[in-house]
Structure 1
Amino acid sequence: MRLERVGRRHGLRGPWVLREVDLDLPAGTLVRVVGTNGTGKSTLLRLVAGVDAPTAGRVTGRPPRTAYVPERFPAALPFTAVDYLVHLGRIQGLGTAAARAGAGEWLERFGAGEHARTAMAELSKGTSQKVAVAQAFLADPSLLVLDEAWTGLDTGARAELDAAVRSRRAAGGTVVFVDHDPRRLEGEPSAVYEVRDGRVREAADLVAPIQEPVAPIPASVGPASASVARPASASVGPASASVARPASSPVGHSASGPVRAGVGPWPRVRIIVSGGPHALPPPERLPGHPVVAPGPDGDGTTVLTVGAGHSDALLSALLAASRHIHHLGSEGVRE
């Protein structure tokens, strides 16, 4: 998807909110938009999502399945929570049964299952936000646009939304988001763009730089096993993973050209999975842009080496893609 010289203003003679915006949004990327209040971040997201049309320029390549969570969700709607989701699911091309099943699943995932039959007008602000977020994932969108979607969610729902965003990206979807918390999905975006004075520029200094690849490290891997060898500080669950990271994650600085998130200056983690390299998305579409190498002795496994700051996201993406994890650890990985 691409925005070419896009501009937006309100009214025929109103002031320009955005001008001359050139933006590439490849599939499988996670893009953060930053800027102070009133600079046009929400306007940019509405243009990306197709909610608003540009006053100047053009937008091409927008996927047919696009989902959008606005900054302010109109909660007082004449539906129950589940009926609203089913209605939107059908608009997005799902059959009634599939829309109802998906509605129930996503309400449960975000902790709002008990409110499925509650009228939208009677929901609390936090529960209304869970419904707003649930509708965005119903039809597996190829483009997901989130404008402060985490605001109002409880801790569990925020973590679930983080995981859902990672899964969408791992499946090849493009995610564009704004969030007031600078730690949101820290170190994971493919690019960060700043909106300032009506212009959009790549904020390369907010994205960790790619380091020189490390040489593949010989590893001894036994027969395939459902168990995962890991350091004591890491825990792996059926749908999420956590690897201890340094107390602070250094941020790289660059004054030239696009800088993408990659293997940062953190300690590196090695993940060994089943399937050859061709069974995985290319490294640039995986969280952290890992170094990918064949497993030792031609055993059919693949070794992915990534900065520890990106290991959570990468492991979640691999689990979401139903990859079998043979090993997770930092032992023996050179700095």
Structure 2
Amino acid sequence: MGRRYGLGGPWVLRGVDLDLRPGTLVRVQGANGSGKSTLLRLLAGIDAPSEGRITGRPRTAYVPERFPAALPFTAAGYLTRLGRIHGLGRRAAAAGAAEWLERFGAADYARTPLGELSKGTSQKVAVAQALLAGPELLVLDEAWTGLDTPAREQLDLAVAELVTAGASVVHVDHDPRRPAASADAVFRVRDGRVEELPAEGPSRAGREPGRWARIVAVGPPGAPLPDALPGDPEHIAGEDGGTVLTVPAGYSDALLRALLTARPPWHIRHLEEAEEPAANPSATAVTAATPTYPTGTGTKA
């Protein structure tokens, strides 16, 4: 596909040919003005190609680089409206709005008009609207910018949950450390073209030996750990009723999936890399309720 602005304008992107596979974290990089945001807008369906086409786009959510805060809604009202647009019922949309505001530490601003929110809180609302309906394709344009540290960690966790459940997440961020997980695929935009680069390191699975993952999870009251968990994780009791599981990093995706799809499901509080199993790892983390994310089928441009 290709994209240019105006009939005689220069091509911003041309000859783009790529596939986004379900269950992958994709990083897009390039110099300022190279066309990264244009590519993301095309993938999200905000813009249409000038030539070529995009096929197979699943249910998609998008966080723009600049959130239009001057809208006639409160934070909760805006999220509820967006939830309805995404197909949620009124009660589910309102519950999702409250849950994501709480998760990002913005519950106190639920009834605040969008125009009166700080830049950081506005960004939390922007991210929450993209997550509350469980997208199959999530497109993030500098979504971490402006968030405080706890909110960045929550966004990292939400991205990990989505990808583990089979969604595709495509992101641009000026900080190569965001998100915390390494990308499965990296694309560079340069001179109007999009080229795939070698992945920036071990994938989320961390398949090389010697690496470990630590997961803090909370199950339903009185429920034991599910049987036969992938990687045979070591587990100890954590704080506030949580369970700390340590597993070789190569099994981390499978373990997350097993916990999230257990019946009833477990909630994931925290996910981090670990050097080795620890006898008394810290279990202090922000509690995060875990929604259900359907699996997409892949997007081709």
Identity of aligned residues (%): 60
1:35 to 26, 30, 39: 30
Contact 1:92 1:139 in 2 (8 A): yes
Q: Does structure 1 residue 20 correspond to structure 2 residue 23?
A: no
TM-score (norm 1): 0.66
Structure 1 residues 147, 30: CA separation in 2 closer, same or farther (over 3 Å shift)? same
- Residue 141 of structure 1 and its aligned partner are, at CA, apart by 0.6
Whole-angstrom CA distance in 1 between matches of 2:125 and 2:118? 11
1:45-64: CA deviation from partner (whole Å, max 9, x where unpaired): 0000000000011100000x
1:284-303: CA deviation from partner (whole Å, max 9, x where unpaired): xxxxxxxx79xxxxxxxxx9
The residue aligned with 1:274 is 227
Whole-angstrom CA distance in 1 between matches of 2:28 and 2:91? 36
Structure 1 residues 152, 194: CA separation in 2 closer, same or farther (over 3 Å shift)? same
The residue aligned with 1:149 is 143
CA RMSD in angstroms comes to 3.2
- Residue 139 of structure 1 and its aligned partner are, at CA, apart by 0.9
Q: Does structure 1 residue 89 correspond to structure 2 residue 83?
A: yes
Q: How many residues align?
A: 248
Q: Tell me the SS of whatever aligns to 1:274.
A: coil
What amino acid maps onto 1:178 in structure 2?
V
The residue aligned with 2:194 is 200
TM-score (norm 2): 0.73
What amino acid maps onto 1:237 in structure 2?
V
- Residue 208 of structure 1 and its aligned partner are, at CA, apart by 3.7
- Residue 76 of structure 1 and its aligned partner are, at CA, apart by 0.8
The residue aligned with 2:133 is 139
State the structure with more CA Rg.
Answer: 1
1:110-140: CA deviation from partner (whole Å, max 9, x where unpaired): 0100000000010000000000000001111
Contact 1:187 1:207 in 2 (8 A): no
Q: Which structure has the higher relative contact order (CA within 8 Å, separation 6+)? A: 2
- Residue 314 of structure 1 and its aligned partner are, at CA, apart by 6.7
Q: Tell me the SS of whatever aligns to 1:20.
A: coil
2:47 to 32, 48, 52: 52
Task: Point out 4+ residue stretches in structure 1 off by more than 2 angstroms.
Answer: 185-188, 205-214, 233-239, 272-277, 303-307, 313-325, 328-331
Q: Does structure 1 residue 7 correspond to structure 2 residue 9?
A: no
1:222-270: CA deviation from partner (whole Å, max 9, x where unpaired): xxxxxxxxx9x9864336xxxxxxxxxxxxxxxxxxxxxxxxxxxxxxx
The residue aligned with 2:237 is none
Q: Tell me the SS of whatever aligns to 1:106.
A: helix
**Structure 1 unaligned spans of 5+:** 1-5, 215-230, 240-271, 278-291, 294-302
Q: Tell me the SS of whatever aligns to 1:21.
A: coil
The residue aligned with 1:237 is 216
- Residue 206 of structure 1 and its aligned partner are, at CA, apart by 2.7
Q: Tell me the SS of whatever aligns to 1:156.
A: helix
